[in-house]
Structure 1
Amino acid sequence: MSTKPTPAPVVQIRQLWSVFRGAGREVVIHQNLDLDIDQGEMLSIVGGSGSGKTVLLRQILGLAHPTRGSVTVLGEPAALLGREGAASRVGMLFQHGALFSAFSVIDNIAFALRELGTLPKDLIRDAAMVKLQMVGLDVSAAHKMPSDLSGGMIKRVALARALIMDPPLLLLDEPTAGLDPGSADEFCALLKALHQELGLTVVMVTHDLDTLLELSTRIAVVADKHIVAQGSAAEVMAHPHPFIKEFFLGERGLRAAALLHNTPKAG
């Protein structure tokens, strides 16, 4: 009886070394790091300050290159994304939105499509309007400037821009940073809905435990220059690594664990 072949990972990282050199010395950030990210996952990468979480995102996006080892995205070297443009294959939501301050909301969303130079203006505008409404914003926001937007609206516009080319892979850098608890909950709900509706593969860096537990289908922990643990939240929390104990089982972590097990939070 024949069986279906296992799909290749959307992202495959093998024996990754990231080394920064300067001022007569070198700093090793990653050493022999391996990681697979499968289709449809929402994988969260966590680690201490300086562990290279955002460096990994940049390497997946093709904006930075490993000193040694390989990063493959959707079957091709990630370096090709950096040269050819990643927007049609990988969407990126930057930590603070990174909207173009001189562009209106609709122009920010439409930017990648306009850069292609192959589509009629009306079609580009219509596509941008669809994405605007997809992220829960009214069409009345289309001609506002970034300076007129709340933090939550900036995140939504940035998300619409990241999705304008319908990429199969979405990268999120601290998606709820700077949001109040209510806005963060709403944005998490939006991300979860879009993940399911669009069949996205999502890679997220976050230090926010509520966001981590609300969205992740799997968690990978970067420490000691490589992945020291990966799996469900419960599996990762059970791993006896000092960083994991500090991150998950400190005061904030215990509240998060209570949430995970649907028990009342400590007061």
Structure 2
Amino acid sequence: MNDLSATVVDIRKLWTVFKSADGEVVVHRDLDLRIERGEVLSLVGGSGTGKTVLLRQILGLEKPTKGTVEVLGRAPGELSAKGAANVGMLFQHGALFSAFSVLENIAFPLRELKLLPDELIRNAALVKLQMVGLEPRHANMSPADLSGGMIKRVALARALIMDPPLLLLDEPTAGLDPEASDSFCDLLRGLHRELGLTVVMVTHDLDTLFDLSTRIAVLADHKVIVSGSAREVIAYPHPFIHEYFLGGRGQRALEALHDKPAKAPPPSAGAAH
């Protein structure tokens, strides 16, 4: 597989087992998942199903107990500093450095490479700052002075500073009010379209899920039990799916989705698997 392959992430027969005082806890068992170029793939599941763990394994921060994870044909742990630029990560709470300014936070991954002059790094960070809807006047602000929505945007700019083809999102709209959440979803949708990104997202927010996903994968019983469009997933007979999607919150989110105008399909979106 090379970087031009349609498959961006390929997870096969993955096991994740954690040790506890009571023995071993199996989180994933023989989990299979393929993510194609151009998708916005959302992972949903109950507490303890290992959604964020899976993101961390794709990023290379954790290793599975058994099985394989490949990102653009390589194991995440084999990525060089240059290869690591293939994956950007937006953490749930932003994970900004409190002692750094906004611009220093955005520039940090590039600066760590020690390959580019300071002026070029600063210019690249300013471009990303404006790409996420912020202005140059925000560059010298401290994270402590930012709203929750602005923190998300700065963290997103940092995740995109090295122009990765793959973007991982952990609860991207958590903590935002409805207006800020809608605005952030609009931003993500526009960047996905304009940059041709492949996105893997974990979210509990049903509005965000229905608004952005081109495919949904449901984690239950230690594996991906079903993946497909919202309609295909909701039709799958499983207690978690019935409770999650067909309860009161799910029904309200579906009704809101039906009330919105249809969006154009994303470019180069891969087929569902």
Give the TM interval when normalised to the shorter protein.
over 0.9
Q: 2:43 aligns with which of 42, 45, 69?
A: 45
Corresponding residue of 1:212: 209
- For residues 245 and 218 of structure 1, the distance between their equivalents in structure 2, rounded to whole angstroms, comes to 18
Give yes or no for contact 2:170–2:201 (8 Å, CA) kept in 1. yes
What is the one-letter code of the residue matched to 1:112?
A: P
- Residues 178-189 of structure 1: pairs in structure 2 closer than 5 A: 178-189=175-186
Secondary structure (helix, strand or coil) at the match of 2:32 reads strand
Structure 1 length normalisation: TM-score? 0.93
- For residues 135 and 221 of structure 1, the distance between their equivalents in structure 2, rounded to whole angstroms, comes to 29
- Residues 82-231 of structure 1: pairs in structure 2 closer than 5 A: 84=81, 87-231=84-228
**Deviation (angstroms), 1:97:** 0.2
Corresponding residue of 2:78: 80
Greater shift, 163-172 or 7-16, is seen at: 7-16
- For residues 235 and 88 of structure 1, the distance between their equivalents in structure 2, rounded to whole angstroms, comes to 34
- For residues 115 and 96 of structure 1, the distance between their equivalents in structure 2, rounded to whole angstroms, comes to 22
- For residues 156 and 172 of structure 2, the distance between their equivalents in structure 1, rounded to whole angstroms, comes to 9
4+ residue segments displaced more than 4 Å: 83-87
1:114-137 CA deviation, whole Å, 9 max, x = no partner? Answer: 111111110000000000000000
Corresponding residue of 1:3: none
Corresponding residue of 1:36: 34
**Deviation (angstroms), 1:256:** 1.7
Corresponding residue of 2:240: 243
Larger RCO: Structure 1 or Structure 2 (Cα < 8 Å, ≥ 6 residues apart)? 2
2:237 matches 1:253: no
1:164-213 CA deviation, whole Å, 9 max, x = no partner? Answer: 00000000000000000000000000000000000000000001000000
Q: Which runs of 5+ in 1 are unaligned?
A: 1-5
What is the one-letter code of the residue matched to 2:91?
A: F
Aligned-residue RMSD, C-alpha: 1.4
1:144-167 CA deviation, whole Å, 9 max, x = no partner? Answer: 000000000000000000000000
- For residues 35 and 250 of structure 2, the distance between their equivalents in structure 1, rounded to whole angstroms, comes to 25
Corresponding residue of 1:27: 25
| Aligned residue-pair number | 257
In 2 relative to 1, CA 222–86 (structure 1 residues): closer, same or farther, beyond 3 Å? farther
Structure 2 length normalisation: TM-score? 0.91
- For residues 85 and 59 of structure 2, the distance between their equivalents in structure 1, rounded to whole angstroms, comes to 12
| Percent sequence identity over aligned pairs | 68
- For residues 187 and 64 of structure 1, the distance between their equivalents in structure 2, rounded to whole angstroms, comes to 28
Corresponding residue of 1:16: 14
Q: Which runs of 5+ in 2 are unaligned?
A: 261-273
What is the one-letter code of the residue matched to 1:252?
A: R
**Deviation (angstroms), 1:7:** 3.3
Give yes or no for contact 1:61–1:86 (8 Å, CA) kept in 2. no
Give yes or no for contact 1:131–1:160 (8 Å, CA) kept in 2. yes
**Deviation (angstroms), 1:93:** 0.1
- For residues 87 and 99 of structure 1, the distance between their equivalents in structure 2, rounded to whole angstroms, comes to 19
Secondary structure (helix, strand or coil) at the match of 2:200 reads strand
- For residues 138 and 18 of structure 2, the distance between their equivalents in structure 1, rounded to whole angstroms, comes to 42
**Deviation (angstroms), 1:221:** 0.2
- For residues 83 and 219 of structure 2, the distance between their equivalents in structure 1, rounded to whole angstroms, comes to 25
- For residues 23 and 76 of structure 1, the distance between their equivalents in structure 2, rounded to whole angstroms, comes to 34
- For residues 148 and 8 of structure 2, the distance between their equivalents in structure 1, rounded to whole angstroms, comes to 31
Secondary structure (helix, strand or coil) at the match of 1:229 reads strand
